[in-house]
Structure 1
Amino acid sequence: MAWVTITNNPTWQYNNAPANPGTDNKFKKALWDLQTNGIRSTGQNHEVYVEVRKVGDTNRTRGEMSKTYWDNH
């Protein structure tokens, strides 16, 4: 697992190897299956970082963030 700084947003990082949630939660597993290297493609040319945190934050995750938005700003 590695936390990588988000392009065009140096105060946030994303996890490029999020943990597999297993089969206990089918919804989370279905979403996890749609991601590669911590980035989920939602179709229609939109991508999402699936696990983000602020640089220096010790909390594992603060949710998701649009990769498409930050790639274009």
Structure 2
Amino acid sequence: MKPVVERLAGQYGGRFLLGEVDADRSRDLMTRYNVRYLPTLVPVRDSAELPNSRLIGYPGEAKLKAWIDARLAKG
């Protein structure tokens, strides 16, 4: 999933910032955002998670792009 997300981030030309967290080294952050499964994408705006918006697992590129588009449309 990582290469696809990185490529999509480039295609969106800065419309979203992609951050990566090392789950083993950032247990406090994993706890803060209640991440229990990997991969998990947690969309955050103004330091708060967008409600009902996280993505768990890799749905494939087309669904991932649709998920990103839906998050960007909300803001």
TM-score by length of 1: 0.31
Which has a greater percent of strand?
1
TM-score by length of 2: 0.31
- Which protein has greater RCO, CA pairs closer than 8 Å, 6+ apart? 1
Which has a greater percent of helix?
2
